[in-house]
A and B are shown apart, each in its own frame.
Chain A
């Protein structure tokens, strides 16, 4: 069955550093991958979408890579700020398919 793995341990980094979060998937070949941000007690909010033919996607301080050979996506936040502290969820999928999420990685940026 399809499996999505994100680092279950919280990631703690210092303000100004680059945060890198990992999303690995097995047993399927998604054509797309999305990243969402979830704050405590709130619903997830869409951040970025990357397609299988796009190796990299950027949006302001965010960068996402998608390696279909490694079956992995990396999510980078450069010049991190305490306001970036949240849980980040990945969702690899195919067109028309249901969105299944990884368990998320909690990021904590310390001032």
Chain B
């Protein structure tokens, strides 16, 4: 069966520090991968998605970046965090298939607090 892992689960970072959140999927190959952010009391905002290694689409201009160095690994990074980067970051995946289902499976999330 497929599983998705995100880490770290929680982190507190000072403004201006770098960020690296990691997401890996097991039990499948060539998945579509997504990064969402959820600010406190707000909805899910799509940040990045990837349909393959090295293929990243950015949805929202910001100081965040994403990379996909391996088929089942998706990394969210920042060189210098802002206060506004605080939030709940969710990684998600779905099978790379031509289907109307598009059902996403989410990780447990990473809660980032920037001070």
* B28 interfacial by beta-carbon distance below 8 Å: no
Do B104 and A46 touch across chains, with their CB atoms under 8 A apart?
Answer: yes
- Which B residues are CB-close (under 8 A) to A97? 102
Do B100 and A51 touch across chains, with their CB atoms under 8 A apart?
Answer: yes
Chain A proximity mask over B51-68: 1 for CB below 8 Å, otherwise 0 = 000000001000000000
* B7 interfacial by beta-carbon distance below 8 Å: no
Q: Kindly report which residue of chain A lies nearest to residue B106, judged by CB atoms.
A: A43
Q: Kindly report which residue of chain B lies nearest to residue A95, judged by CB atoms.
A: B100
* B31 interfacial by beta-carbon distance below 8 Å: no
Do A43 and B108 touch across chains, with their CB atoms under 8 A apart?
Answer: yes
- Chain A: residues with Cβ within 8 Å of the partner, total of 24
Do B107 and A43 touch across chains, with their CB atoms under 8 A apart?
Answer: yes
* A111 interfacial by beta-carbon distance below 8 Å: no
Closest CB of chain A to B108's CB: distance in Å?
A: 6
- Which A residues are CB-close (under 8 A) to B106? 43-45
Among B43, B99, B105, B111, residue most surrounded by chain A Cβ atoms (within 10 Å): B43
Do A32 and B105 touch across chains, with their CB atoms under 8 A apart?
Answer: no
Q: Kindly report which residue of chain B lies nearest to residue A87, judged by CB atoms.
A: B43
Binding site for A on B (CB under 8 A): 34, 36, 42-44, 46, 49, 59, 88, 90, 92, 98-109, 111
4 closest residue pairs by CB, A with B: A43-B106, A103-B43, A101-B44, A95-B100
Name 23 interchain pairs, CB-CB below 8 A, sorted by A.
Answer: A31-B100, A32-B100, A36-B104, A41-B88, A42-B109, A43-B90, A43-B92, A43-B106, A43-B107, A43-B108, A44-B104, A44-B106, A45-B106, A46-B105, A89-B43, A93-B102, A95-B100, A95-B102, A97-B102, A98-B34, A99-B104, A104-B43, A104-B44
